[in-house]
Chains A and B, each alone.
Chain A
Amino acid sequence: KTKPVSQDDMYNYLMQFDYLPKSNLESGNLLSDQKLTDAIRSLQSFGNIPVTGQIDSATARLLKQPRCGVGDQKSANSFSPDNLYHDSGYGVRVRR
């Protein structure tokens, strides 16, 4: 039986993998229900599980599955070297 997923876990997952903008790291709890539902539906569609918009057992299982750390949405442009100056931990610029 899959352990239930808390809403915080869900938010973090959706932000981590680009289903919600990362700016919600600070303002996540103020998201509208509709935005959250849309993000869950998008995740379910990408993961090829039934699209319900709810955190059901299939979604909970998907969240627990090991995966790649790169985001799933093309528009997010994460892991682009262009983003490094903004995203390289704690503002440290790294150059080889």
Chain B
Amino acid sequence: YVLQGPKWSRTDLTWSLVNQTMPDASKVRMMVSRALSVWENNSKLTFREVYSDQADIQIVFARLQHGDGYKFDGPGQVLAHAFYPGEGRGGDAHFDADETWDFDGGADDSRGTNFLNVALHELGHSLGLGHSSDTNAIMFPWYQNNEVNGQLPDDDRHGIQELYGSKEKTWGPYRPRPTTTTTTTTMRSLNYYPEKPANRPRYNPNKDWERARERQELERRRQEQERQEQEDRRRERERQREREREQEREQERERDRQERERVRLEMERANRERITTTTRRSTRPYQNGGHRQNHHHSKPRKPKPDTCMTYYDAISMIRGELFIFRGPFLWRIGASGLYPGYPTETRRHWSALPENLTKVDAVYENKQRQIVFFIGRQYYVFNSVNLAPGFPKPLASLGLPPTLTHIDASFVWGHNNRTYLTSGTLYWRIDDYTGQVELDYPRDMSIWSGVGYNIDAAFQYVDGKTYFFKNLGYWEFNDDRMKVAHARTKLSSRKWMQCARNANEVDDEQR
């Protein structure tokens, strides 16, 4: 057996079936109760059923993508999964609603997958057991329709007892038999758990048949009302969750704004110090001589960004030279460094770009050596500086969602020479043959570990390495470890614009 994840700190656990209105809900609840009683009988654990989204273990039937990042795959293969003990989703067991389930606990496979056995296995995970390679164990990962009969195989029993101890000590011969409390009794003790409906009115010779029918009808209405209330509560919970999610997203955006502001202020301060400490220096390498003056005296319509203190909207190698885009401007950096006269307006190179261009979201050079610009909901393909026929096209024509408002970054990953697009928390891969987004996408940006969400830009440099940009900094990406080579960003202007270090700045190593 394998113990995995944390264990529950309590032994009295609660559980709840989320899909109360599914056709076989009562059978499911009975089977879950039976499965839990097997774990209960072999450990100090006790379980009680509640109708609450705060229950320790939520039993959920869901299909395909269901919000936890581990999507189900339709009938067959993956039957269910469960989370190890913990807060939030910890302990929850999810079952693939697309399976043909047999909720009667039969041994006959032709009736479907034995739900009791699968529940028994998943609840093992909910309690802190990992997969065992013992083929007789409940926790063996592959489905087996074994007879359960309330007993646990030794392997599982040893595992659960290591976590939560055994049910009772071994008593001497005169120990009286303990009284047992059934799960049903425990469940009934909860105020908000409704009375279990009687399947049919109990026979009472003093009451006539009509009154029994009335009671039955009343009971049916009460159940109906209860179901409706549950549904209302579920919807309210959903709305509440959505509100919380939106709140979190807003907080994330606010943190991002604050971080940008903090870095900007820090850089302004550093820049002021640099100006005062470099007045004695004759020149600054690759600094655009007239640029600062331009910056301060430029027309208010299109102020040029400060070469040594700006973040990048897009960056790409084009024809062997480095192009950095910010607002409607670009810098061009060749073998001899930054070209003089830059930054200049991007439309001076690619005049077919929109006249009111405010920024370029992303740029890359594709395998046909065409230059691809992403601007808002459209993308432009250029043969050198000439717009290719039929462009611009909407992002949706690449197979991207029609709701997508922009692309953050586009880059060809040196590790596999494939093209990637990112936006917010997601990224896509382009199939070079079809020119369309591949089917398995989008995926979560977290695979590019350390880079985070909502990046500014990314590109592959001549050294073959991929660099990600956010705010005033950048990360080098380590392809082998699939994470950033340095957790803290390094200052972009130093490496890419070759700006001089000010007197007070030190390297990370020195710091």
Residues of A within 8 A of B (CB): 17, 21-23, 25-27, 29-30, 45-48, 62, 64-72, 74, 77, 79-82, 84, 86-96
Against A, the Cβ 8 Å flags (1 = close, 0 = not) of B85-120 are 111111000000000000000000000010000100
Q: Given A65-B143, A79-B84, A89-B65, check contact A95 B241 (CB 8 Å).
A: yes
Question: What's the Cα separation between A89 and B443 when bound, in Å?
Answer: 8
**Chain B interface residue bracket vs A:** 35 or more
A96 touches B79 (CB 8 A): no
Q: A91 CA to B68 CA in the complex, in Å?
A: 10
How many inter-chain residue pairs (CB < 8 Å) link A and B? 158
Q: How far is the CA of A62 from the CA of B88 in the complex (A)?
A: 33
Q: Interface residues of B: mostly helix, strand, loop or mixed?
A: loop
Distance between Cα atoms of A48 and B416 in the complex (Å): 35
Q: Determine whether the beta carbon of B244 is less than 8 Å from that of A95.
A: yes
Asked if A91 contacts B141 (CB within 8 A), the reply is: no
Known: A65-B143, A67-B142, A87-B69. A94 touches B241 (CB 8 A): yes
If A23-B447, A80-B84, A84-B88 touch, whether A94 touches B70 (CB-CB below 8 Å) is no
Q: Residue B332 at the A interface, CB < 8 A? A: no
Asked whether, in the complex, the Cβ of B143 is within 8 Å of the Cβ of A67, the reply is yes
Contact status of A90 and B426, CB under 8 A, knowing A66-B76, A95-B88, A95-B241 = yes
* Distance between Cα atoms of A21 and B130 in the complex (Å): 18
* Contact between A27 and B479, CB atoms less than 8 A apart: yes
B172 to chain A, nearest CB (A): 40
Contacts of A89 in B (CB 8 A): 65, 67-71, 444
Between A and B, 7 residue pairs with Cβ closer than 8 Å are A46-B133, A80-B84, A80-B86, A81-B86, A91-B446, A94-B241, A96-B241
Contact B133 A84 (CB under 8 A): no
The distance from the CB of A65 to the nearest CB of chain B, in whole angstroms, is 5
Provide the bound-state CA to CA distance between A47 and B445, in Å: 33
Interface centre among A27, A74, A79, A80 (most CB of B within 10 A): A79
- Kindly list 5 other residue pairs between chains A and B, CB separation below 8 angstroms, not including A79-B82, A89-B444, A90-B443: A26-B415, A66-B79, A69-B78, A80-B90, A87-B68
Task: Please determine whether A69 and B446 come into contact, CB atoms closer than 8 angstroms.
Answer: no
A27 to B416, CA, bound (A): 7
Q: Which B residues are closer than 8 A to A by beta carbons?
A: 2, 4-5, 53-54, 65, 67-72, 76-90, 113, 118, 121-122, 125, 130-131, 133, 135, 141-143, 241, 244-245, 248, 413, 415-416, 424-426, 429, 442-447, 449, 453, 479, 482
Instruction: State the CA gap A94–B486 with chains docked (Å).
Output: 29
Contacts of B76 in A (CB 8 A): 66
Return B205 CB to nearest CB of chain A, in Å: 50
Closest to B77 in A: A66
Identify the closest chain B residue to A18 (Cβ): B131
Checking B54, B81, B141, B482 against A72 with a beta-carbon cut-off of 8 angstroms, the contacting residue is: B141
Please indicate the chain B residues that have their CB under 8 angstroms from the CB of A66 in the complex. 76-79, 113, 142-143
CA distance A65 to B248 in the complex (A): 40
B142 touches A91 (CB 8 A): no
